[in-house]
Amino acid sequence: MAKNFFSKLFQGNKEVVPAGAIPCVDGCYICGTVLEDGSVEGNKYCEGKLVGSGRFVDGKLSGFGKRFVNGQIMCEGNFVDGYLSGQGKVYSYKGFVTYEGNHAKKPNDYGSAYHGQGREYHCVTGALLYEGEFYYNHWRGKGKEYYPNGQIRYEGEFLDSFWHGRGQYYKQNGELVYSGEFAEEPFTYDR
């Protein structure tokens, strides 16, 4: 049924906005309900594909919503002017959560940056990589980095995603290797 619905929306290369849908300035449209404040609650479609779900102001997500790519959820959380801002989650192409935590409204590949407290996960396995403070997508401040088996690799201070400041480095079996100050690259480590 959905296939027939979407096939009727196109005439050649031109998208036809279905009756009752609200056209957006970006060429997309929203199927939903217009609220008293003029915002729209519903689903946004571009070229017949779902690209967003939630509340929209001027065609942009505002408040809690979800963004989709090729029918798969890409991110969800609080949006301001179309960007994740505040609490939210980002997903990998395999459906794993790759980040959950606070976002700042600063455009990048995901329309926002990891900023504040959060957790970053491996995009293929879903294993926890890091939890702690972020500063515009970088590990900065206090945090913990993990091995794929879940064991803590490093606990302490970070600067631009590198171990920097006071911290402890552990082997994969949990044995403490070094406790003290880290600056630049005190010794070689791999990620």
In this predicted model, what pLDDT tens digit does every residue of 60-96 receive, in sequence order? 999 999 999 998 999 999 998 898 999 999 999 888 9
Give dist(CA 172, CA 165) in Å, integer: 21
Q: What pLDDT was estimated at residue 46?
A: 93
CA quadruple 33, 37, 38, 41: dihedral positive or negative? negative
Q: CB–CB of 156/142 below 8 Å?
A: yes
Q: CB–CB of 161/139 below 8 Å?
A: yes
Q: Outline where DSSP puts E strands in the chain.
A: 10-11, 14-15, 22-23, 29-34, 40-46, 49-57, 60-69, 72-80, 83-91, 97-104, 113-121, 128-135, 138-146, 152-159, 162-170, 176-182
- Among 85, 116, 147, the domain-final residue is 116
Q: What pLDDT was estimated at residue 184?
A: 63
Give dist(CA 135, CA 166) in Å, integer: 18
Q: What pLDDT was estimated at residue 185?
A: 56
In this predicted model, what pLDDT tens digit does every residue of 104-154 receive, in sequence order? 976 555 568 899 999 999 988 899 999 999 998 999 999 999 999 999 999
- Among 94, 116, 138, the domain-final residue is 116
Instruction: Tell me the average pLDDT across 153-171.
Output: 95
Rg of the chain taking only CA atoms, in angstroms: 21
Q: Are residues 2 and 86 in the same domain?
A: yes
pLDDT at residue 36 above 50?
Answer: yes
- Name the amino acid, one letter, at 178: Y
pLDDT at residue 186 above 70?
Answer: no
**By residue range, what is the domain housing residue 71?**
1-116
Q: Which tokens go with 86?
A: 């505040």
Q: Are residues 171 and 102 in the same domain?
A: no
Q: Are residues 26 and 79 in the same domain?
A: yes
Q: Are residues 16 and 76 in the same domain?
A: yes
CA 104 to chain centre: 11
Q: Are residues 76 and 142 in the same domain?
A: no
Q: What pLDDT was estimated at residue 181?
A: 94
